[in-house]
Amino acid sequence: MQINTVGVVGAGTMGNGIAQACAMAGLEVIMLDVSDAALLRGQQSIESSLDKLLRKGSLDEAGRRDALGHLRCSTDKHALADADLVIEAATEAESLKLQILKDIDASVGPHCLIASNTSSISITKLAAASGRADRFIGMHFFNPVPVMALVELIRGLQTSDSTQAAAEALVARLHKTAISARNSPGFAVNRILVPMLNEAVFVLQEGLASAEHIDEGMRLGCNHPIGPLALADLIGLDTLLAVMEVFYHSFNDCKYRPAPLLREMVEAGYLGRKSGRGFYRYA
């Protein structure tokens, strides 16, 4: 199946990043959210990202105009009617995703594929709610989407070979690399990454080292491009906590317990870059 039109539900950090990557690849993109204000923030984020690429010389003015020309924004779910693929990129909350997937199924044509950008929730469970389980797949992008080269593909129990093939072809068209992971909490990458970030929060909570020294230690000692606490701020502490909660309840193993400091920071509204304050402060 050839994918030419992509719907992206959610104009937040991940949603607008996915929309930008698809538009830059020449796909027609419909970015959907519940309010004009959310869509405006998402579009402004895309324009800012394209401007940054322009300044770096990675994109010319014609390419910027072309990408924006492939993007449409809407609050009307019926705008997705002609999509070949719709990618759900809402907040990492299972009940919300289940409802959105039902709405998508009712809004798109019978040929349309549906994907979720979830980083931890069961693809098989989401697929069952989608109304088209054989045409459903997990497509887990990484932040910032326009820069990160990886997309993790996760099949549910019902996902067809043709859906997998279509997803792989789309990833290639986006000039990214796909890896396949089995449907298990956190899949492959986050199963390794998120507990490491959570452990860094424990190290900070216990006063073993400052946030700056924890991050510097991992950057210089392990050659990581960004420290774990700065990365947690980039991902969003609420998202990190949600993933750890899924791990904790799914595996019933105390090694996946969220750090109390992480939970308290989320309760305080210190969510990282998106709120202006996490383990660090941001302008």
Q: What's the confidence (pLDDT) of residue 41?
A: 97
Q: What is the 3-state secondary structure (H, E, C) of 250-265?
A: HHCCHHHCCCHHHHHH
Q: What tens digit of pLDDT does each residue of 79-118 get?
A: 999 999 999 999 888 999 999 999 999 999 999 999 999 9
C-beta of residue 27 within 8 angstroms of C-beta of residue 173 = yes
pLDDT, the chain, mean: 96
Residue 190 has pLDDT above 90, yes or no: yes
Residue 124 has pLDDT above 90, yes or no: yes
The mean per-residue pLDDT over the stretch 41-70 comes to 95
- Positions marked catalytic: 119, 140, 152, 190
Q: What's the confidence (pLDDT) of residue 201?
A: 98
pLDDT grade, residue 130 (50/70/90)? very high
Rounded Cα gap, residues 122 and 97, in angstroms: 11
Q: What's the confidence (pLDDT) of residue 92?
A: 86
Contacts of 37 (CB under 8 A, 6+ apart): none
Query: 151 has which bridge partners?
Result: 141, 178
Place of tokens 């959907």: 32
Rounded Cα gap, residues 207 and 71, in angstroms: 47
Residue 142 has pLDDT above 90, yes or no: yes
Q: What tens digit of pLDDT does each residue of 150-187 get?
A: 999 999 999 999 999 999 999 999 999 999 999 999 99
Q: What's the confidence (pLDDT) of residue 241?
A: 96
Rounded Cα gap, residues 175 and 155, in angstroms: 21
Residue 120 has pLDDT above 90, yes or no: no
Residue 129 has pLDDT above 90, yes or no: yes
Q: What's the confidence (pLDDT) of residue 283?
A: 86
273 in helix, strand or coil? helix
The distance of Cα 102 from the centroid of its chain, to the nearest Å, equals: 19
Residue 281 has pLDDT above 90, yes or no: yes
Q: What's the confidence (pLDDT) of residue 204?
A: 98
Sheet with 136-141, edge to edge strand ranges: 71-74, 28-32, 5-9, 85-88, 113-116, 136-141, 150-155, 177-181
Q: What's the confidence (pLDDT) of residue 147?
A: 92
H runs (alpha helix) in the chain:
13-24, 36-56, 61-69, 94-107, 123-130, 161-173, 189-205, 211-222, 228-235, 237-251, 260-268
Query: 281 has which bridge partners?
Result: 277
Q: What's the confidence (pLDDT) of residue 86?
A: 98
C-beta of residue 150 within 8 angstroms of C-beta of residue 177 = yes
Residue 135 has pLDDT above 90, yes or no: yes
28 in helix, strand or coil? strand
Using a pLDDT cut of 90, give the percent of the chain over it: 96
77 in helix, strand or coil? helix
Q: What tens digit of pLDDT does each residue of 6-54 get?
A: 999 999 999 999 999 999 999 999 999 999 999 999 999 999 999 999 9
Rounded Cα gap, residues 193 and 46, in angstroms: 27
Rounded Cα gap, residues 153 and 168, in angstroms: 8
Residue 249 has pLDDT above 90, yes or no: yes
Q: What tens digit of pLDDT does each residue of 148-160 get?
A: 999 999 999 999 9
Rounded Cα gap, residues 247 and 25, in angstroms: 34
70 in helix, strand or coil? coil
Rounded Cα gap, residues 60 and 53, in angstroms: 8
Q: What's the confidence (pLDDT) of residue 1?
A: 81
